[in-house]
Amino acid sequence: MKLSTFIGALSVLGSIASGALLGFDAGQEFSKAMLVSPHAPLELVLTPDSKRKDVSGLAVKPWKNDIERVYGSSVDSAHVRAPEGALLHIKPLLGKQEEEDLTYYHKSHPGVTFAPTERGSISLKCFGHEYPVEQVLAMNLDETIGRANKLLAEKNSLDVVDSLAITVPEFFNQDQRLALKSAAELPHGVKAQLVNDGMSVAIDFALKQRDFPPGEREHFIFYDMGSGSTRASLFAIEQPLNKSEPLMIEFGGYGFDATLGGTKFTQNVAELLKNKFLEQNPAIRTEQLNRNARSLVRIHQAAEKAKLVLSANIDASVSIESLYKDIDFKAVITRQEFEDFSEDLTGRIIRPIEDALKNQFFESPIDITNLKSLVLTGGSTRTPIVQKQLMHYLGSDLIARNVNADESSVNGVTIRGIQLFKSFQTKAIDILDRSIFSYGIVVNESATPIEIFPRGSQYPNKTSFLIPPTNYTSEFSIDLKENGLTFKKHIIETSPIQEKFSEEACPQGVAFNATFTLSQERFFDLESIEAICLHNSKNSTGLFKKFFSGGASRQEQEALGKGSISDVAPHKVKLLKTSEKFAHVSPMSNREKLRVRQHIDDLNKKDEMRLKSQELVNALESILYSTRAFLEQDDVAADGPKQDIESLSEYVATNLEWLDYESDEASVADLMEKINHISSLKDKIELYLMSSGEPLNFEQFSELHANGSELIQQFKGIEATANVTLEALEDNFSEIGLDVVKEYKKLKAPRHLSLSNYKLKDKIEAFEKTLADISSLLSAQNLDSYDREELFELKLIFDSSFSDLVKCLELEQAVQNFKMNELASLHSRRLRVLKKREDRKRSQESSSSLNAANSTFTSTTAGSTSSEKETSNAQEFTIDHDEL
């Protein structure tokens, strides 16, 4: 099935979805994100500079009295300026402890300082704060989700990302998976699902190929070398004979090298460059250079570029200005030098493939001759030394390059996420995934290890295990092991059964039925444990002894493993509580998640303010230069208001200098004030120039005064009209028992019509003062003695106040109309209430008269005989019936 067909199904059926899903390929150095929603079927989320992949992590640098977070293409320059602020490439640090050997990470990230968290995990220290590695990844995810939501908004979609499918290396252990899961759950409103990276690539490959031969199993190895690790995943893909049945993808083998990747090759190039620099400058000692984090960062960045050049060329030139103490560095590195220096890595390139074929899960193992192809994915597979080793081992015919090495994983994880979250209806694919590790338990630490899910077990999976009967019910523990190493301990709280499950009550002892799960995300855990009081079953005792002595058949063991406890005839069952303790690194608690999420929210708000501040600085700079150019125009200088031009010119010059030296400390409010002040002055000058044709004479100001006086009279007229109307309504309201003036004062206008009385009063008083100034001007009878700028200023004040008061007048008129309508409605409602009261009163009086007549009639017949009473009752009934 082609991927285009799959995408078409999403487009048609995706309208049933209520949110959007983000597929996230969490690479060590670079990450990719893909969005799917009813309005964006499988669309890559591009970076702000339109790149298809983004830097994994961020950089932190000082900004004013705080910090600034930098993402994407700007990270490299920020990394050089502040190496200690590089929160980058933390994937290999997830689930690790500070005391573990992480030399390879420090070589690539000089200047970065670790600190342990309370949970035993690693945090990165920079500029007075410690960032747990989970928070670093969460901030990267949060920023990507923000871009995805912005993309949806641009499509006029109301959808937002509410589901996240994120790749996880197959070789990640429980600690690493829990750390990755914690990080993925930190962004607001997002539920997360981990998807194995090998399966992601296999799904993408299967959906993009032409139809597979029906009924035939084809075997592929997906060789994925990224920047941090190398994985070889063996898969079988089969299209059933009936093409209407789903395509089957079965995971059958795995090999990996957790530290072999592009970063190792980059480090080798960096070592070569360091050696060349030290050879050119013998006075500089190695330890001196190693203490200079900025120099090491620049060497590492130059090494990364040189490695890419060597992939296509036989040599690469490197030039770094002022690398160390103003010493420039130039060198040429050849591909042969690089390959000779990396000779220790060449033997490791093939090993994951050998391991995948050696340790298979298939019932009928295959060898290289059964492979359809070895499919290359991951950016580092382009390295010539890698391709040379692969071709030497497999031959060129078996190597396939028919997937997008950079995007196959993000395509696949998105599609797998759709299936797991059931976000859309899609054509079914049968996925058979298996565990590459074994999982077992130890009861009470000293007991013999018991394997629960052997290597190669399918998952998700669940099974139960019966712990044999004992004559005691004291507290005990169950250690959970992965590949023989304990990662978690469950303490079983037995206090609820210590009295009820005594030896007398349970003569055959107490057994425990433990249910274990291997989840879809390959988390191994104790789901529940039950205490079983064995009353009198001899068969149960014999079966337990047989099982735990190793004499039980496979069928009997499987029956017990599935929780089939019918044979043990339990008398009482009690579900027990447990407490857990992690052996190495604990996952984030809910409380810590809330705290970290709040910190991320605070940083987001600061970023918004910083971005707004930078936008305003740019806006201020733009308006300053445009205003300076405006003031330099001949007509402005010649005809504009001299005082305003002089004031604005001085303000522009002062703020251009302020922009260069003092703007870093400016607040958003300060910047807005400066922009508004410049805009208002410039607008005033432009308005002055536009009014150059106005006479500003006695006749014009007389007209202004007349218009203003009429406006004031209109305000007074509204109040007078209201008083007249209230007087006219006074008698009508008195008749219904209401005071019309009081009811009028109770009425409040709707919010959209309301205007505070004191604000209106202030506006009218200011306007009357302006009218007084105009009146004084007119009484002088000599406007020629006034400067034109003074006359314009007065007219400007009048125009502004007049326009404002006209709007207020319209509001006041609307308010009075509203109040009069409300009074009319109140009068009508009151009349209806009084009429209902009157009708009810008449009804009650009529009913009282009828009851009195009936009472009189009954009393006159009280002395009659029994038969007379019956007749009387019949007559009474007839009368009542007639009246009704």
CB 829 within 8 A of CB 821: no
Closest to 25 measured CA to CA, from 45, 41, 8: 45
Each residue's pLDDT tens digit, 792-836: 888 888 988 898 889 888 888 898 899 999 999 999 999 999 889
Each residue's pLDDT tens digit, 653-662: 999 999 888 8
Reduced to 3 states (helix: H, G, I; strand: E, B; else coil), residue 220 is strand
Q: In this structure, what token pair is assigned to residue 223?
A: 């060789």
CB 329 within 8 A of CB 320: yes
Question: Would you state the pLDDT for residue 220?
Answer: 97
CATH classification for the domain delimited by 213-399, as one of 3.40.640.10, 1.10.10.10, 1.20.1260.10, 3.90.640.10? 3.90.640.10
Q: Which residues contact 477 (CB under 8 A, 6 or more apart)?
A: 443, 444, 445, 489, 490, 491, 492
Q: Angle at Cα 95 formed by Cα 91 and Cα 101, nearest 5°?
A: 80
CB 382 within 8 A of CB 405: yes
What's the CA gap between 482 and 435, in Å, rounded? 11
Omega within 30 of 0 (cis) for the link into 460: yes
Side-chain half-sphere exposure of 855, counting CA atoms within 13 A: 6
CB 792 within 8 A of CB 641: yes
Question: Would you state the pLDDT for residue 773?
Answer: 87
Question: Would you state the pLDDT for residue 844?
Answer: 85
CB atoms within 10 A of CB 698: 15
What's the CA gap between 488 and 178, in Å, rounded? 12
Domain ranges of the chain: 1-209+402-426, 213-399, 439-588, 591-693, 698-848, 849-883
Mind giving me the DSSP string for 350-390? HHHHHHHHHSB-SSS---GGGEEEEEEESGGGGSHHHHHHH
What's the CA gap between 320 and 302, in Å, rounded? 8
Question: Would you state the pLDDT for residue 542?
Answer: 52
Amino acid at 227: S
User: Under CATH, what is the fold of the domain 1-209+402-426?
Assistant: Nucleotidyltransferase; domain 5 (3.30.420)
**Strand partners of residue 462:** 517
Q: In this structure, what token pair is assigned to residue 879?
A: 């009368």
CB atoms within 10 A of CB 883: 9
Category of 127 on φ-ψ map: left (φ > 0), alpha (ψ -120 to 50) or beta: left
Q: Which CATH class is domain 439-588?
A: mainly beta
Same fold for the domain at 439-588 and the one at 591-693? no
Asked if CATH classification 1.10.1270.20 holds for the domain at 591-693, the reply, yes or no, is: no
Instruction: Taking the CA atoms of 158, 162, 163 and 166 in sequence, report the sign of the dihedral they define.
Output: positive
57, 90, 481, 564 from 442: Cα distances, Å: 39, 33, 8, 21
Question: Would you state the pLDDT for residue 508?
Answer: 84
Mind giving me the DSSP string for 136-174? HHHHHHHHHHHHHHHHHHHTT----EEEEEEEE-TT--H
Q: Which residues contact 388 (CB under 8 A, 6 or more apart)?
A: none
Closest to 10 measured CA to CA, from 414, 430, 520, 431: 414
What's the CA gap between 588 and 180, in Å, rounded? 10
Mind giving me the DSSP string for 859-875? HHTTTS-HHHHHHHHHH
Amino acid at 641: P
Instruction: Taking the CA atoms of 46, 50, 55 and 61 in sequence, report the sign of the dihedral they define.
Output: negative
**Cβ-count burial of 38 within 10 angstroms (0-12 exposed, 13-18 middle, 19+ buried)?**
buried
Supply the angle between the helices 788-860 and 642-661 in degrees, to the nearest 10.
80
What's the CA gap between 862 and 842, in Å, rounded? 31
CB 221 within 8 A of CB 374: yes
Question: Would you state the pLDDT for residue 695?
Answer: 81
Q: Which single residue is written with the structure tokens 């406890």? A: 565
Closest to 30 measured CA to CA, from 415, 335, 417, 405: 405
What's the CA gap between 647 and 653, in Å, rounded? 10
Cα of 128 vs its chain's centroid, Å = 26
What's the CA gap between 704 and 778, in Å, rounded? 11
Query: In what helix (H) or strand (E) does residue 720 lie, and over which residues does it extend?
Result: helix 698-735
Question: Would you state the pLDDT for residue 795?
Answer: 84
State in Å, rounded, how far the first CA of the chain is from the last one: 83
**Cβ-count burial of 375 within 10 angstroms (0-12 exposed, 13-18 middle, 19+ buried)?**
buried
Q: In this structure, what token pair is assigned to residue 406?
A: 């950079």
Query: In what helix (H) or strand (E) does residue 648 lie, and over which residues does it extend?
Result: helix 642-661
Q: Which residues contact 429 (CB under 8 A, 6 or more apart)?
A: 203, 206, 207, 246, 247, 248, 249, 419
What's the CA gap between 580 and 589, in Å, rounded? 12
> Over the chain (884 residues), what is each successive 10-residue block's mean pLDDT?
46 53 96 90 90 94 86 91 94 94 91 94 94 97 96 88 97 98 95 96 90 91 96 96 91 96 96 96 94 95 95 94 95 95 94 96 93 94 94 91 88 95 83 97 88 96 90 86 96 90 85 96 97 71 48 44 45 89 95 96 92 91 94 88 91 92 84 93 87 82 90 89 90 90 88 74 88 85 76 85 89 90 91 89 80 56 44 36 28
What's the CA gap between 108 and 146, in Å, rounded? 29
